[in-house]
Amino acid sequence: MKEIELIKNLRSLKSISPRAEYASHSKMVILSFQRKLHPQWEIVGRGVLAESFNFGLSMVLTAVILVLILGGATSLLRPIFLNNLPGVDAEGLITEADTITKDIDIQLSEAEYYAVTAKETSVALKETSLNGPAHVNPLLIQNEIKTLDFENPKNSNIDDLLNKLSQ
């Protein structure tokens, strides 16, 4: 066979094509074929490590679910709950109670103060406006009584000293 003939025959082969059915089937087979990584990478990616990780994760998740199902949720979350009780937080409550109590006392004593000052000022102005008998003034006598108070610690101290001196 000459070269020209051979080329002619080969060209005629170009017109040969598979059946449509066969082509479609072959295409599906090729596409569904599982691609494999290079063996070197296979160990890391989808190999031993990945399998171990998946297994470990599954075990942990199973354990957590079991603990939660068996009523351990409250125990596990207990510290978180107990540290988040704003209503009965001892420090905050003590501070608030202390502030409120002190403020109330101040307000009440102040309200009382106005009444007391009114009385004292009235007495002072009365004494300033009057010219009554100087030696029988009730305030003067009251003050004198205070100085004669026998329960006065100063007096008892003097008595103690005198007793010691006389011994």
Report the interface residues with another protein, using CB under 8 A.
74, 78, 81-82, 85-90, 93-94, 96-97, 99-101, 103-104, 106-111, 113-118, 120-131, 134-135, 137, 139-140, 143
Q: How far is the CB of 145 from another protein (least distance, A)?
A: 13
| CB-nearer residue toward another protein: 8 or 126 | 126
| CB-nearer residue toward another protein: 63 or 124 | 124
Q: String of b and e for 77-111 (b: at least 16 CB within 10 Å)? A: eeeeeeeeeeeeeeeeeeeeeeeeeeeeeeeeeee
Q: Within its chain, how far is the Cα of 135 from the centroid? A: 71
| CB-nearer residue toward another protein: 10 or 90 | 90
| CB-nearer residue toward another protein: 114 or 150 | 114
Q: How far is the CB of 106 from another protein (least distance, A)?
A: 5
Q: How far is the CB of 63 from another protein (least distance, A)?
A: 22
| CB-nearer residue toward another protein: 25 or 119 | 119
Q: Where are the alpha helices (DSSP H) in the chain?
A: 3-13, 20-31, 39-45, 48-69, 73-82, 90-129, 138-147, 153-166
* CA atoms 58, 60, 65, 66: torsion sign: positive
| 49 contact partners, CB below 8 Å, separation of at least 6 | 43
